[in-house]
Amino acid sequence: MSAHAVMSTPAAAAGSRLLMSGNEAVARAVWEAGTRVAAAYPGTPSTEILECLAGYPDLYSEWSVNEKVSLEVAFGAAMAGSRSFCAMKHVGLNVASDALMTMTLTGVSGGLVIAVADDVGLSSSQNEQDSRYWGRFAHVPVLEPADSQEAHAMTLAAFELSERFEVPVILRMTTRICHVKGVVRTGERSAHSAAGFSKDVGRWVMVPSAAGRRLPLMFERERRLRAEAEVSPLNFAEPGSDRRIGFVTSGPAYMHVRESFPDAPVFKLGLSFPLPFDSLRRFAAECERVVVVEEVEPLVETELQAQGIDVTGKRILPLSGELSPPVLRPAIARLLGEPVPEDSTAEPLKVFPRPPTMCVACPHLGVYYTLSQLRNVTISGDIGCYTLGFGQPWNALDACISMGASMGMALGLDKGRGDNEKERKIVAVIGDSTFLHMGMQGLLDIVYNRGNVTVLLLDNRAVGMTGGQDNPGSGRDIHGNEAPRVDFVRLVKALGVRDERVHLVNAYELPVLLKTLREETKIPEPSVIITSQPCVLIKDYHALKPYMVIDERCTGCGNCIDVGCPAIHVTRRDRVTKASGREVDLAFVRIESAACTGCGLCLKPCAPDAIVHVDTLSMPIKVVRKNPAPVHNA
């Protein structure tokens, strides 16, 4: 069942059994909890939570410009006494942490649940951090579901816990929970009226004197939460007949332990912070050895050892990646001194390598093809589809670390360059949503500090990498309704870039793009080139007539391959010797017309005019002329 299928039946009767991913299950539970406000910024693997939730009635939902704003919106609703919710991926909580670290002092009035999706295994992220740390750091409880049904149940439990202790609650998800489907028994939406905002400057205005008075309350709350963890039904021990090793675990790792060692005793942590030390000490006393299986950092292991409880964990288990049965079974066998079992799934299947690439006709293709033609340039990149510009065939991106960092890195590259690099050009590449998320401040810093940086702002009117979600630059809200659309030309000028240094360029017009880039990188002041063409996967994009290659004309120069379009396939490679004695590699190509959308990017580098529209086959070849690249959307 797709996300939209679940969204189309929000009023499913209580007790209905639906096949749901963890993300869909959380969305359903948020609605059932009587939540009034929900906010998020898209980020895999958490994106579908808000996408699904937006289809439910009787609550307000929004795509916020970044995770910090989403948490602040949810917190404001909780101050007003409403139940509220926000979702983000693990790196998003880094952005939101400034707000989190203070609201842990103020507490909340209405229930506030923060779903944080960790990308264990690095399927789509730049790091593999463990969001359970934030529970310790912010002194807020952490709940960890192990499957879709628990994701649903623990979301409901999180709201109840949040209101009872007047504290934000972190629901820690992982990719395995977010995207794997399971059967979920749903309930009805409960009525939850807003209590209203109570004016209390000593609580809500966090000046130092007020914050100091709230600190003891925070520590007292944590003491009560620890007592709650001892009796919470979310934490429980399962007996086992084989007591040689007992396991302490949480989240999807629990499922892996149960599959690998069905006869072993297991202590499952659902409320994993604060830890129930007394219960865990009793559990450990009943086992010969205790192994902590946790993804990914040794948080629980370290805390139990500090309590004098004899456990092991990361000494035998890896510090990264999922702890699946092929990982667990050999590690435990070695610990017990038993033969290491052979597991056919331990070795990954050998398949033909498929490096990530951009979509057919993606407007970023021409940008990176053009950048690859520049010499003596350092390119500072950012987070999005365009991050793929670092790879083949472009090799046109030199650095990328986090959302919005392209701007600050570019300024640092400019200011930190040595005397032998004075002629080197500095280019920053950033997408529209990323620019609005965290890039605007970086551009302002470049302007304010007179940086010699050329910025390429790639406006494709979507949060492309996470599925084409809307943002303030698309002109639509989360429901697809018309919304104010940011004018990027006016915005960058308002940030201080001089009028003559701002250019709006069609991403498919390669000669214009190359000329503009060459000119602007020579100017020793901030400049911005905005490429404005829609993502090929959203409804704003309109495909044109596809192209094909006339075999008789193709000389094998391979220039069109350098554009990087996946619709272009190499059919034959030859090596020939020129009259000068130099050997040249030739690559003859064809265009997959069923995939081609007629963007025209491959026409510009094709010297022999071998690429034509498919409907020109009936015409004499001699009258075929090169067509200009089309404008897809004015």
Residue 315 pLDDT exceeds 70: yes
- Name the band, by pLDDT with cuts 50, 70 and 90, for residue 624: very low
Q: Token digits for 271?
A: 């409320």
Known binding residue 602? Answer is: yes
- Alpha-carbon distances of 427 from 58, 374, 518, 530, rounded to whole Å: 46, 11, 11, 13
Tens of pLDDT, residues 283-307: 999 999 999 999 999 999 999 999 9
- Name the band, by pLDDT with cuts 50, 70 and 90, for residue 342: confident
Known binding residue 52? Answer is: no
Report which of 26, 237, 251 is spatially closest to residue 145, judged by C-alpha positions: 251
d(CA 600, CA 497): 32
In this structure, which topology does domain 3-190+201-231 adopt according to CATH? Rossmann fold (3.40.50)
Q: For residue 199, what pLDDT is reported?
A: 95
- Alpha-carbon distances of 224 from 144, 215, 279, rounded to whole Å: 19, 15, 16
Of 83-92, 125-134, 587-596, 607-616, which gets the smallest average pLDDT? 607-616
Residue 603 backbone zone (phi > 0: left; psi -120 to 50: alpha; other: beta)? alpha
Mean pLDDT, to the nearest integer, of 503-511? Answer: 95
Residue 343 pLDDT exceeds 70: no
CA 447 to chain centre: 29
Q: For residue 1, what pLDDT is reported?
A: 34
- Name the band, by pLDDT with cuts 50, 70 and 90, for residue 564: very high
In this structure, which topology does domain 363-532 adopt according to CATH? Rossmann fold (3.40.50)
Known binding residue 86? Answer is: no
Number of H helices, E strands in the chain: 20, 22
- Name the band, by pLDDT with cuts 50, 70 and 90, for residue 166: very high
Tens of pLDDT, residues 424-481: 999 999 999 999 999 999 999 999 999 999 999 999 998 988 888 999 889 999 999 9
Query: What is the domain partition of the chain in residue ranges?
Result: 3-190+201-231, 235-336, 363-532, 547-623
Percent of the chain with pLDDT over 70: 94
Residue 621 pLDDT exceeds 50: no
- Alpha-carbon distances of 620 from 131, 615, 624, rounded to whole Å: 64, 12, 7
Known binding residue 400? Answer is: no
Residue 620 pLDDT exceeds 70: no
Maximum Cα interatomic distance, the chain, rounded to a whole number of Å: 88
Residue 22 pLDDT exceeds 60: yes
Out of 1.10.530.10, 3.40.50.920, 3.40.50.300, 3.30.300.10, select the CATH number for domain 235-336: 3.40.50.920
DSSP for 295-340, please give it: SSS-HHHHHHHHTT---B-TTTS-SSS---HHHHHHHHHHHHTPPP
Residue 8 pLDDT exceeds 60: no
Q: For residue 40, what pLDDT is reported?
A: 97
Q: For residue 12, what pLDDT is reported?
A: 67
Known binding residue 565? Answer is: yes
